[in-house]
Copies of this chain bind each other. A is one copy, B any other.
Amino acid sequence: MESHSVQILTQIFLMFAAAKVLAVVGERVKVPTVISEIVAGILIGPHLLRLVQVEEWTLALAELGAIVLLFDVGLDQKLTDLMKVGGTALLVATLGVIVPFFLGYGLLILREHSQAESIFMGAAMVATSVGITARVLQELGVLKTVVATIILGAAVIDDILGMIVLAVVSSLSEGVNYVQIASVAALAVGFTLFIVLAGRRVMRRVTPRVQRFAAGDPYFALAMVICLGLGVAADKIGIAAIVGAFLAGLVFSEEELTPRLKTNIHALREFLVPFFFVAMGMQMDVTVLARREILLLAAAVTLLAILGKLVGCGLGAYRLGWRSAVRIGVGMVPRGEVGIIVASIGLGLHTISNEVYAVVIIMVLVTTLIAPPALKLLFAERKPAPSPPSDLL
Contact = CB atoms under 8 A, between A and B. Distances in A.
A60 B63 contact: no
Given A8-B60, A9-B63, A12-B64, A216 B2 contact: no
Identify whether the interface residues of A are mostly helix, strand, loop, or mixed. Answer: helix
Contact of A225 (B20, B33, B225): B20
Contact of A216 (B33, B222, B228, B268): B33
A229 interface: yes
A157 to B, nearest CB: 25
Given A63-B5, A215-B27, A232 B10 contact: yes
Contacts of A20: 221-222, 225
A229 B10 CA distance: 8
Interface in A42-74: 56-57, 59-61, 63-64, 67
A26 B215 CA distance: 10
A345 B215 contact: no
Contacts of A57: 56-57, 60-61
Interface residues of A, number: 57
A330 interface: no
A136 to B, nearest CB: 14
Interface string A252-270: 0000000000011111101
Given A268-B271, A270-B220, A271-B224, A235 B1 contact: yes
A9 B228 contact: yes
18 contacts: A1-B235, A1-B348, A6-B235, A8-B63, A9-B228, A9-B235, A10-B232, A13-B231, A23-B216, A24-B218, A27-B214, A56-B56, A57-B57, A57-B60, A60-B61, A61-B61, A217-B267, A220-B270
Given A1-B241, A20-B225, A24-B215, 19 more contacts: A9-B67, A9-B228, A9-B231, A12-B228, A13-B225, A13-B228, A16-B225, A17-B229, A23-B216, A24-B213, A24-B218, A26-B215, A33-B216, A56-B57, A57-B57, A217-B270, A220-B271, A267-B268, A268-B271
Interface of A: 1-2, 4-6, 8-10, 12-13, 16-17, 20, 23-24, 26-27, 33, 56-57, 59-61, 63-64, 67, 170, 213-218, 220-222, 224-225, 228-229, 231-232, 235-236, 240-241, 263-268, 270-271, 345, 348-349
